Each structure stands twice: as C-alpha cells, then as structure tokens.
Amino acid sequence: MIKRAGKVMLLLLALVSAAVMWQQAQLAVLAMARMDPLPYTRQLVAAQHYAEAAEYLGFFMQYDYVSSDPQAQSLAASIADTRSEWRYQLAKLQQGLVDGTSDETIGLTAAVVTDFLVIGDVRDLTRQGLNLVRGEEVDDTLVALASLGLLASAAQIMSGVGTLETAGAATPVLLASSASKSALVTLKAARKVGKLPPWLAKTLTSEAKLARQSKSLAGVSELLGDVSVLANTSGGLRLLSRTGNQAELSRMARFVQTFGEHSAMLYRLGGDVALQMAHRAPQLGKSTIMLAATFGQRGLRVLDNLGAVRFTKYVSRAAKLAYKGDLLRLLAKWLLQLPHWLLMLFIVLAALIWLPWHWFKRLWGRKTLSC
C-alpha cells in the first residue's frame, strides 16, 4: 500500500513538473504583481505635490484594477478639487511670476511668458548681480542660462524682422530660435528646482562663454533641440535629471518622441528597462508596453521575452484568476524557483517506475526466441 502511494505521489510530482516546464510563460505572468499607486500618491499629497500626484495616479486610472477602486476614485477627486481651488491656482501663478518655475500649468505659463518677454532673464541676472554685490554665492549656471536666453531673444527678434521682410521665408529660423528659447526656459526651471544634472550645468557654463563671443547659439543648437523635446512633455524635468551626458540626453529625447505624454511615468515605473525597449515600440505596441509597466520592471522584461501577443493573452488569463489573490501568485513564484534539473528528475523517475517494463521484457524475449 505504501509502495503504491509512493508511486502515485511520484506520478503527481512528475505531472506537476511537466506542467511547470510547459507553462513557464504563464507562470511568469501569474507571479507578477501589479503596482498599487495609492500609497505613493498619498505620500505626494501629504507633501503637497498635487500636480505630480495627479499625473502618477492618472496613469494607473487608465486600467480597470485601479479605476474601479472606490479609494482611487475618491483620492483622484480630492486631488482634482484641490488643484481647482482659486487660492491654489493663485499661489502657483505667483510662483511662476516670482520664481520662474512651477509644477502647474498656470505657473509654468507665467514663467514661460516672463522668460519669452526677456523679463525672466533680466530678473535672474539682476538677482545674481545683487548676490555678487552682497558677497553672496552667485549661481554661474543660472547666469549662463540667462545670458543664453538674452541671445535667444535677440535671435527671435531678428528672425521675426527677417520673416516680415522676406514674406515668411525666414520662418524656419524663427521657429528654431523659439525652440531654443523654450529649451532655455526649461533648463532654468530645472536649475531652480535642483533637477539640472551636473554634466549639463558644466556644459552650459562653458558654452555660454563661447556663445557670448560668437553672438550665436550654434554651439548648443543640438543640445537645446533635445531639451526642447523634453520641455514639451509632462515630467520632462525628471527625465532631464536622469541623463549623464549628451548621448543619454539624445536617447531620452527619442524616448519622449516615442511615448509622448506618458514618457515620464513610463520611465518612473520601468527605469532603464523601459528606455531600452523604446526601439521595440513599433513591434510590441506602445499600449502593451504601458500595460507591462503597471507590473514594474519585471513586467517589461516578461513582455520583452514573450512578445506582445503572448503577453497580452497571459495577462488576460491572469486577470480572470485575480480573485484567488496572493496565494496563486506566491505559488507561481515558488514553482518558477524550482530548478529544471529537479523537474526533469521527477519526470525521469516517474517514467522509470511507471513504464510497463514487463511488456518490454516479453517483447524482448519473443525476439530472442525467434532469432
């Protein structure tokens, strides 16, 4: 009886082992946990970073597992109410006018307007000049950016005059100078909130000296072009802060061109893994990559391994089993950790025990007699 029970147990282990080896991809998806955005959103709200909280939670609200959650709905409504209050909007407007930076549209608009009207550049140069007179620390990078901003403003004025005189033939030059100005506004904002990477601050300081001598922004045109791409997307400053050199800046700009308004959130969730997958967006699909990002970096790696069709199919199956909760996910994780050699060992042992060896002996005996 015990011997038979042992044989049955070994057979069950072999069947489970075969199923695990056959369904590795499905188990990999079942083992993943979707990210819960509520804890971090509450942290952002507690820190009064309402714009960032709205962006973060808003990304996840695209998906049913969050949008159907009453707590998520209540939190999203609370954030929206706070951001719509006139006192909050007035404070952000003042922040944009006085400090030249803000995390809200109204404040950013004010900051951009003051900088495009040269007021912002003059304001920043005046402040740094006063610091010098008082013997206080002078921000050389901010001085460099304000100087480049004045050059860009001059280029805009000259391009505008040229456009009128040539009946529009100089329009491309005007657009280029406007893009440069937009990039410089973004760089100044990044500097003021501590998101300008050190390599870029050093580059801008040295290039500003050359630009003042040549009265031209040609030396930084490529760099400003990449920054301009980041400037036109929400969270662009966070992406800028993650670059370590100009090559990485160009790569980040291509990433933003691929994923648009979702770029900052996608990078926040997937990091360099998401960045590396940008070139595969045409094959995998942007929506599939964003879906995978809700599982974090692990989800992106599984997508990269399985491909879009299989990944979407397995995620759909896993969603139907979601009611089983953490138990199923923990079981899938445990099964995936079993080494392949152990799974194969169970299969081989079961085969050795359960195969009808007496049939083979009889067959072999008949062949021997016939010979």
pLDDT tens column, 132-160: 778 778 788 888 888 887 777 765 554 43
Count the Cβ atoms, other than its own, within 10 Å of residue 226.
22
What's the CA gap between 112 and 94, in Å, rounded?
A: 13
pLDDT for 118 beyond 80:
no
For 37, phi and psi rounded to 5 degrees? Answer: -80, -10
Which residue type occupies 299?
A: G
Query: Looking up tokens 């072009």, which residue turns up?
Result: 225
Q: Which of 334, 267, 317 lies closest to 29 in space, CA to CA?
A: 317
- The share of the chain scoring above pLDDT 90, in percent, equals 20
Can you tell me whether residue 178 is helix, strand or coil? Answer: helix
The mean pLDDT of the chain is 76
pLDDT for 350-366, tens place per residue? 666 666 655 555 555 55
**Greater model confidence, 9 or 30:** 9
Q: Which DSSP string do the residues of 106-122 spell out, in sequence order?
A: HHHHHHHHHHHTTHHHH
**Greater model confidence, 242 or 357:** 242
What's the CA gap between 184 and 228, in Å, rounded?
A: 8
Using an 8 Å Cβ cutoff, are 354 and 3 in contact?
Answer: no
Query: Looking up tokens 């989800």, which residue turns up?
Result: 299
Between 10-19, 182-191, 249-258, 337-346, the lowest mean confidence (pLDDT) is in 10-19
For 175, phi and psi rounded to 5 degrees? Answer: -65, -40
| Per-residue pLDDT band at 166 (split at 50, 70, 90) | very low
